[in-house]
Amino acid sequence: MAGAVLAPPKPSVLTTHRTFEGLVQEYKNRIYGYVCRLTNDSPDAEDLTQEVFIRAYQSMSAFRHDAAVDTWLYRIATNLVIDRFRKERRAPQWVPVTAGVDEEDPTWELPSTSRESDPQATAQLTELQRHVQRAIHSLPVKLRTVVVLHDMEGLSYEEVAQAVACPVGTVKSRLFNARLMLRKKLQHYMEGES
């Protein structure tokens, strides 16, 4: 069975992705990144991502092109993570952000910039990213979900609304509040930048 192409129940999603493997190949890192942002780099993030794709596979026949495939996957991921939060009855504290960023960790890849050649600049950048990640994690989950989807995953207001199942006006309001909170939390670093 190894290497065999999986045949999903109906081909609705597969008009753009010929196989389920193709779907996974295209979206696995995006969904994993999204889950990491929401869960503060939980050790379970990869398991949660796997669960997202399993649910997607199971409900492929239910998918219709009302939304884009990525929006659909983000929605499954959002529901899954929020369900997990509810079970935990609190925002997850699995891994402190200060310990979650490890330069030796292959899953944490710094962007390819000229700063990579300068160890001091790289260290400063990594430190800044730690603070940003910490600030994101401090947001209430509803604000965090919206700001991550819009500002980090690049979804439009309408796509975010579909992914989190709320009106566009609510998305804009949450985004405004999330950015306001992030501005306050990161003010020191932004003053340093400017």
Query: How far, CA to CA in Å, does 92 sit from each of 74, 139, 169?
Result: 19, 12, 28
Q: Which two tokens stand for residue 125?
A: 């950048």
Cα–Cα nearest to 168, from 183, 182, 149, 152: 149
Reduce the DSSP state of residue 144 to 3 states and report it: helix
Reduce the DSSP state of residue 83 to 3 states and report it: helix
Q: Which two tokens stand for residue 187?
A: 């003010």
Stretch that binds another protein, among 80-88, 89-97, 116-124, 175-183 (CB under 8 A): 175-183
Least Å from the CB of residue 58 to another protein: 4
Least Å from the CB of residue 106 to another protein: 7
Positions 76 through 105 that interact with another protein (CB under 8 A): none
Site membership for another protein, residue 48 (CB under 8 A): no
Q: Which of 82, 91, 95, 132 binds another protein (CB under 8 A)?
A: 132
Q: Say if residues 179 and 128 touch (Cβ distance below 8 Å).
A: no
Reduce the DSSP state of residue 107 to 3 states and report it: coil
Cα–Cα nearest to 49, from 24, 70, 71, 72: 24
**Cα gap 182→68, rounded to integer Å:** 29
Site membership for another protein, residue 20 (CB under 8 A): yes
Cα–Cα nearest to 71, from 25, 27, 122: 27
Stretch that binds another protein, among 42-50, 84-92, 116-124, 137-145 (CB under 8 A): 42-50
Terminal-to-terminal C-alpha distance of the chain: 57
Binding mask 144-173 for another protein (x = CB under 8 A): ---x--xxx----x-------xx-----x-
Stretch that binds another protein, among 51-59, 80-88, 90-98, 137-145 (CB under 8 A): 51-59
Residue 50 vs 138, nearer CB to another protein: 50
Which residues are near another protein by CB under 8 A?
1, 6, 8-9, 20-21, 24-25, 28-29, 32-33, 36, 45-46, 49-50, 53-54, 57-64, 66, 72, 75, 106-111, 128-129, 132-133, 136, 147, 150-152, 157, 165-166, 172, 175-176, 179, 182-183, 186-187, 189-190, 193-194
